[in-house]
Amino acid sequence: MADMTASPAPDSSQPVRDVAVIGSGPAGSSVAALLAESGHDVVLLDREHFPRHHVGESLIPAANRILDRLGLIDQLQDSSFIKKYSVQFVGPDGQESTPFYFDDFDPLGLGHTWQVVRSSFDRLLVDRASTLGAEIRTNTQATSVDFHEDTTATIWTRRIRKREGSLRPVRCRVVVDASGQSCFLANRMGLRQIDSRLRNGTIWTWYHNAKRGTGRDEGATIIFNSREHKSWFWYIPLPNNIVSVGCTAGTDWLFDNSLSAAEIFNRELSRCPSVAERLKDASQAEPFRTTRDFSYSSTELAGSGWVLVGDAYSFIDPVYSSGVFLAMASGEMAATAIHEALETDNTSAEQLGNWKQCYDAGVEKFRQLVYAFYDPSFNFSDFIRHHPDQRENLTELLVGNVFKPGVSGVFEGIKPMLTSG
Ligand SMILES: Cc1cc2nc3c(=O)[nH]c(=O)nc-3n(C[C@H](O)[C@H](O)[C@H](O)COP(=O)(O)OP(=O)(O)OC[C@H]3O[C@@H](n4cnc5c(N)ncnc54)[C@H](O)[C@@H]3O)c2cc1C
């Protein structure tokens, strides 16, 4: 079991909080909100100040149930976020799949979820955690953790933007790492493993006045494959006539040191006429941003006094917009385990990580679907044509119902279509 070496005795003058959460994205805010609601003493740390920019704007309907549990559905219904009723796939030859509408698959019966601007959405979640009783400390970066023999831990924190030289301790019974792709604990413990089949990178930006659908198709996420399956684009309509457009491909194909992000993006756009056509009257509204090697997982989920949630544990790939849902779902599962741990005074790895098997099995379904998407022999239109009986199960997976039993039949149909067989 990976654990940090036992460290100096704790400063006994420090108060011991029940839980300290590092990172207040969707995973950290969810776990903090649910534990605070259960009456625990929770402190939520983030190195950023909110609102802050973040990639990942498209939700899937399975997130609705957790948002409802957090008491946020009315606020979302009243918000300016665009309603997302479906997802659609467009093949390299421009062939469009029938949209996968969420009508009968959304747990709340709304038939939609939302395309969100993450600066506002994440703020909503942090505010909710605060309202439910969590203490929020922004501009506060965790720099290291000491795990003590008395089973408490001390997180050492640094105030960002303040000229304070000294580190401040936060002592707690359970450390939750929700630091996203920074993988604060997994990196320090050497647990992070890149998925070698998904060495991808992304370049993305926002456009003003890009073409969008009408009626309930206005808010659809559309995934476009470029020619020869070399790259794909997301197309995510946002408020204020903005569309988020991102291009993802293998890092070897995508990045070229002699080209700027704009040049690479435009190179790929020229290979994807369906997107280029939608952008012909649009103007770029944000600088290009890039990221790479974002698909990985940690070999362990929990240890004595610590647990990982959201991207701090694993991330697959952006193609099915599963990240925010999985972050919140893992936050919810971890909250249940931590609550029991605190109630029974058992903060062992077994207790804090007792949701690993269930969670990993759900994530694995997304992973298999991601591998299929990147297989040049696979496309959704052909799959549905050959397996119309699997449309329902496939939609269940696309909306995020991956923890539901009985939806795996899809993979029997997908497997023979793949190059790898
Ligand atoms: C290219 C790309 C596109 C994506 N598109 C989508 C999409 O359309 N839909 C979707 O659902 N998901 C998408 N995702 C995934 C999604 O962005 C993440 O899965 C989600 O944000 C994970 O939430 P989280 O709470 O685990 O981490 P984050 O949201 O990343 O939050 C982590 C927080 O930790 C803080 N932090 C980090 N280190 C420290 C530290 N040392 N001390 C204190 N604070 C710290 C950060 O400031 C941050 O606020 C995409 C991801 C990528 C890479």
Domain count for the chain: 3
Burial class (CB in 10 A: 0-12, 13-18, 19+), 11: exposed
| Residue 312 covered by a domain | yes
Nearest 10 degrees: Cα torsion 283, 288, 293, 299 = -90
Same domain (yes/no): 212, 270? yes
Same domain (yes/no): 346, 381? no
The confidence score (pLDDT) of residue 2 equals 52
The closest-lying atom of ligand 1 relative to the alpha carbon of residue 234 is 8
Same domain (yes/no): 60, 109? no
For ligand 1, atom 27, the nearest C-alpha belongs to: 180
| Residue 166 covered by a domain | yes
Same domain (yes/no): 187, 133? yes
Q: Which residues lie below 8 Å from residue 359, measured CB to CB, with a gap of 6+? A: 301, 329, 330, 333
Kindly report the CATH number assigned to the domain that includes residue 106. Answer: 3.30.9.100
Indicate the pairing of strand 140-147 with strand 86-90: unpaired
The confidence score (pLDDT) of residue 5 equals 54
Same domain (yes/no): 48, 141? yes
| Residue 370 covered by a domain | no
- E strand map for 76-215: 82-84, 86-90, 100-101, 113-115, 135-137, 140-147, 153-159, 168-177, 192-194, 200-208
| Residue 76 covered by a domain | no
The confidence score (pLDDT) of residue 1 equals 44
Rg (CA), the chain: 22
**Which of 335, 361, 387 is the C-terminal boundary of a domain?**
361
Which amino acid is located at 151 in the chain?
T
Contact 331, 313 (CB under 8 A): no
The closest-lying atom of ligand 1 relative to the alpha carbon of residue 322 is 11
Cα 412 to ligand 1 centroid, rounded to whole Å: 32
Same domain (yes/no): 251, 211? yes
| Residue 77 covered by a domain | no
**Which of 251, 277, 292 is the C-terminal boundary of a domain?**
292
Same domain (yes/no): 57, 22? yes
CA-nearest of 162, 176, 154, 143 to 49 is: 162
> Which pair of tokens denotes residue 69?
């549990």
- pLDDT in 10s for each residue of the chain, 421 residues: 455 555 667 888 889 999 999 999 999 999 999 999 999 999 999 999 989 999 999 999 999 999 999 999 999 999 999 999 999 999 888 888 889 999 888 889 999 999 999 999 999 999 999 999 999 999 999 999 999 998 999 999 999 877 667 899 999 999 999 999 999 999 999 999 999 999 999 999 999 999 999 999 999 999 999 998 899 999 999 999 999 999 999 999 999 889 999 999 999 999 999 999 999 999 999 999 999 999 999 999 999 999 999 999 999 999 999 999 999 999 999 999 999 999 999 999 999 999 999 999 999 999 999 999 999 888 888 888 899 988 888 999 999 999 988 788 889 889 888 886 5
Same domain (yes/no): 264, 316? no
- Phi/psi class of residue 28: alpha, beta or left (left: φ > 0; alpha: ψ in -120 to 50)? alpha
Kindly report the CATH number assigned to the domain that includes residue 169. Answer: 3.50.50.60
Cα 21 to ligand 1 centroid, rounded to whole Å: 14
Same domain (yes/no): 221, 247? yes
Q: Which residues lie below 8 Å from residue 45, measured CB to CB, with a gap of 6+? A: 20, 21, 22, 23, 24, 137, 140, 141, 142, 155, 157, 170
| Residue 366 covered by a domain | no
Degrees, nearest 5: CA angle 291-295-301: 125
The closest-lying atom of ligand 1 relative to the alpha carbon of residue 27 is 25
Report residues whose beta carbon is within 6 angstroms of any ligand 1 atom: 22-28, 45-48, 54-59, 141-142, 178-182, 184, 202, 246, 291, 294, 310-312, 315, 318, 321, 323-325, 327
**Which of 240, 262, 292 is the C-terminal boundary of a domain?**
292
C-alpha distances in angstroms, 372 versus 265, 315, 410, 415?
A: 24, 17, 11, 8
The confidence score (pLDDT) of residue 255 equals 93
CA-nearest of 319, 374, 420, 379 to 93 is: 379
Cα 201 to ligand 1 centroid, rounded to whole Å: 15
The confidence score (pLDDT) of residue 357 equals 97
Q: Which residue has the tokens 């239109």?
A: 381
Cα 186 to ligand 1 centroid, rounded to whole Å: 15
pTM for the full predicted model: 0.96
Query: Which of 125, 179, 187, 238 best tests ligand 1's pocket when mutated (most atoms within 8 Å of CB)?
Result: 179
| Residue 8 covered by a domain | no
Same domain (yes/no): 405, 303? no
Q: Which residue has the tokens 């457009």?
A: 245
From CA 406, how far away is CA 401, in angstroms rounded?
Answer: 10
The confidence score (pLDDT) of residue 139 equals 94
| Residue 2 covered by a domain | no
> Which ranges of 20-113 does DSSP label H, i.e. alpha helix?
26-37, 62-69, 73-78
Cα 215 to ligand 1 centroid, rounded to whole Å: 31
The confidence score (pLDDT) of residue 273 equals 95
Cβ count near 198 (within 10 Å): 20
Query: Which of 21, 31, 43, 47 best tests ligand 1's pocket when mutated (most atoms within 8 Å of CB)?
Result: 47
Q: Which residues lie below 8 Å from residue 164, measured CB to CB, with a gap of 6+? A: 158
From CA 210, how far away is CA 414, in angstroms rounded?
Answer: 34
Cα 181 to ligand 1 centroid, rounded to whole Å: 6
Same domain (yes/no): 181, 126? yes
Domain span including residue 408:
377-417
Residue positions counted in the chain: 421
The confidence score (pLDDT) of residue 238 equals 98
* DSSP run (H or E) holding 242: strand 242-250
Same domain (yes/no): 288, 399? no
Cα 296 to ligand 1 centroid, rounded to whole Å: 13
